[in-house]
Every structure is written in structure tokens, then in C-alpha cells.
Amino acid sequence: MKKFFILLLMIGVVTALAACSPNTSDTQGDEGEELTIEKQGSFSAGGVVVETPGTYESQKFDNWKPYPEGQTYHGDHASVFYQIPEKARDFPMVFLHGAGQSARTWQTTPDGRDGFQNIFLKRGFSTYLIDQPRRGQAGRSTVESQITPVADEQMWFEIWRMGRWPEYSKNVQFPQDEKSLEQFFQWMTPDTGSFDANLVSDATAKVFDESGKGILVTHSQGGLPGWMAAAQTDKVAAVASYEPGNYLFPENEVPESLPSRTGALQGISVPMDEFKKLTEIPIVIYFGDYIPEANEISDDLGAENWRVRLELGRQFVETVNKYGGDATLVELPKIGVHGNTHFMFAEQNNVELADLLSDWMKEKGLDKRGQ
């Protein structure tokens, strides 16, 4: 293990709560108003039961030494916190976080305003927030893992396009005060077992057995298992994905690997009948600012990491639509929305981001009530 120099600076609690939701020009939502919840709670979805061979001896005990023989272990499930507002719209929204994150991604913003959970609850959608298998409150992993604290926050600051440490990107929508950055870094939580897209997609699909048919909202690393879940169950009515890390393509149509400083990117091959599922539902993908065009190779880690994912996203959308699908890729700066990083849904203009999603859901008939 790396030895750390522990700063004695104890982190004071942030005044995040004191920051109220600003008055915005949002015409669709009701931010700042009260929220009436008909039902809320927690459940697990997916997962496996592992049983160690042998016979369990009731009341055996040896000073807390493990004696797994004949005992069971429930693991690799997702943990879900759900809220159903009064007069909920027909389709719930199911949220799947990205790498190093948990449901917290959606529960607030770095500066303590309403996150997408609150915004869409207030707009009448039931929300289901996932902690994926082997992450956060779903930490019981069936595989062994080493948790090693390695200081990495400046790297993520750059990979996520907040800027070139310690400078923020020009006109960035990420709040630039110290406390917001501190709260944001504290959202991170490690994997308690290796990331497994199949496990995540399986558990995500099973969340829809509980929520009913609905809209899947994914971010980053959650993008790929999100597409897989949508190809796996008819209960995913639509997918909205914020800067997905990767994409599915039909066998023999996977584009050539895209080289980048942060690693070559190649799409994932699935049988055509699975891919076709993605052509039967509306799909929208959002990418933020500070991403160069496909051929503009850069030294910048954030630019490099997302340049190829954006480009592969274009090819994914093209392929989905070629087979009769309804996929849209929104490059925010090209529609006049500037300054967004990889965490656009939690930035200063997140109500504007929510409005874009609301408009799209309305256009696709996903926001109906009482159908």
C-alpha cells in the first residue's frame, strides 16, 4: 500500500444544505416547491446466492473466526431507493450511476441544490436510484477485492473535463467554490468487487420488474450495462444516457477501434436480434462541452477520453437509426448550451438539462398519466 501523508485538516461539514434551489426560468418544473410522496422505500434486485459446501453446525462459534461450511451469502444484487410522488406519471425513471459513483450522483448537486432525483420527482415521475452490484449500499460482492486508497482526484478533475488542475475550464458550469468540489469528491465510493457489466445489466433489468415499464437514465460507465438491460427486457421504454462509456453494435458491424490517449475504444458486439431491441425504443444521448471533433487529437485527458466516446456515439446512433430506430445524440454546445463537464446533470444549469430531457420525454410520449 502507498503511504499517505495525512493532512490534519478535518473536513468541516459543508454548508451545502443552506444553499437553496435558485429561481430559474424553468417553465416545466416546480423546483423549490414541496414534494408529496405517496410511497418510498428500499429493495434489492438481482444477485446470486452463494452456498459454501459442507454442513452448517448450529451454535458453533470460534471467536468470530469464519466457518462458512453450509452457510449462505447473498451478493451481487443492486440496492434501490425509490420514491413515488402523488399522481405519478405512468413511466417511472430508473437512474444508473457511473464509475466510482453511487445513487448519490442523482440526489443532490455539488453546491447542494436539487439533483435529478428531486427535479423529476417534482415533475411527477417516480424515481428509482440504483447502487449497482458491488458498489455503495450494494457492497456484498461474491468476488474478492482489494480496496486500496490511491490519491486520484486531480486526474478525475481532468478526465471529467472540469479543467486542467488547478484551473477550471473557461465558463464551466461546475460550481467553482472549494466546498462544492469537496462534496463532489466525497461522492466517490469504490468497487467492492470487479466491475461486471453483465451483473449490472441483469440487476438493472430486474429493477424494472419492480418499478414497471419505465425510462432508464444512465451515466458514463452505466451507459453500457444500460444498453444491455434495454436489450434484455421489454420493460425499458426508453433510454436517456449522459456521456455513455461504450455502446452495443450488431455482430460484424462493430466499428474499427478508435485510438485515444486514454485507451483505444471499441464497441461491443451483440447478435442482431438483441441489437434490434434498441431500435424499438426512443434513445437520447447527451454530451457536454470541451470535446474536440473526432480528428482533433489532443494532449488533454478529458478531451481525449470523450472525443472517441462521442464519435462512437455518433456511429451507434447512425446504426440504430439505420435499422429503423429512434436515436438522437445531443451535443450540448451545438444547441447553445455551453460549459458542461461530464457531470452536466449536477451542474449549475442542471434545470436546463432537465428541461431538455423533459422536452424529449414529452415529444416521445413518455410523460403521460393514466394511460
The residues in 260-319 that bind its own copies, with binding defined as CB under 8 A, are: 261-263, 299-301
First to last CA, the chain: 57
| C-alpha count within 13 angstroms, C-beta hemisphere, residue 27 | 2
> Given the complex with its own copies, which of 89 and 206 has the nearer CB atom?
206
Per-position b or e across 263-289, b if 16+ CB within 10 A of its CB? eebbbeebeeebbbbbbbbbbbbbbbb
Count CB-CB contacts under 10 A for residue 41.
9
Among 31, 90, 114, 367, binds its own copies (CB under 8 A): 114
Rule CB under 8 A: which of 216-255 touch its own copies?
none
Rule CB under 8 A: which of 322-341 touch its own copies?
none
The strand pair at 248-250 and 268-270 is best described as: parallel
Pick from 247, 249, 242: which is nearest to 220 by CA?
Answer: 242
Rule CB under 8 A: which of 33-62 touch its own copies?
34-53, 56, 58-59, 61
Q: Which stretch binds its own copies (CB under 8 A): 72-80, 88-96, 270-278, 358-366?
A: 72-80
Name the 3-class secondary structure at 288: coil
Q: Per CB under 8 A, does 23 bind its own copies?
A: no
Name the 3-class secondary structure at 270: strand
Count CB-CB contacts under 10 A for residue 355.
19
> Given the complex with its own copies, which of 84 and 330 has the nearer CB atom?
84
> How far is 331 from 170, CA to CA, in rounded Å?
18
Among 22, 30, 165, 198, binds its own copies (CB under 8 A): 165
Cell numbers representing residue 198 in the block: 453483465
Sign of the CA dihedral running 199, 136, 98, 320: positive
Least Å distance, CB 159 to its own copies, is 9
Rule CB under 8 A: which of 94-113 touch its own copies?
102-104, 107-108, 112
The length of the chain is: 371
Least Å distance, CB 115 to its own copies, is 7
Among 90, 158, 243, 311, binds its own copies (CB under 8 A): 158
> Given the complex with its own copies, which of 80 and 285 has the nearer CB atom?
80
Cell numbers 428531486 correspond to: 118
Q: Per CB under 8 A, does 4 bind its own copies?
A: yes
Q: Which stretch binds its own copies (CB under 8 A): 206-214, 246-254, 283-291, 319-327?
A: 206-214
> How far is 227 from 221, CA to CA, in rounded Å?
11
Rule CB under 8 A: which of 168-187 touch its own copies?
182-183, 185-187
Q: Which stretch binds its own copies (CB under 8 A): 9-17, 245-253, 269-277, 310-318?
A: 9-17
Rule CB under 8 A: which of 130-149 touch its own copies?
131, 135-149
> Given the complex with its own copies, which of 182 and 253 has the nearer CB atom?
182
Contacts with its own copies: how many residues (CB under 8 A)?
109
Instruction: Give the CA distances from residue 72 to residues 55, 79, 325, 348, in Å, rounded to whole numbers and listed in that order.
Output: 11, 19, 44, 46
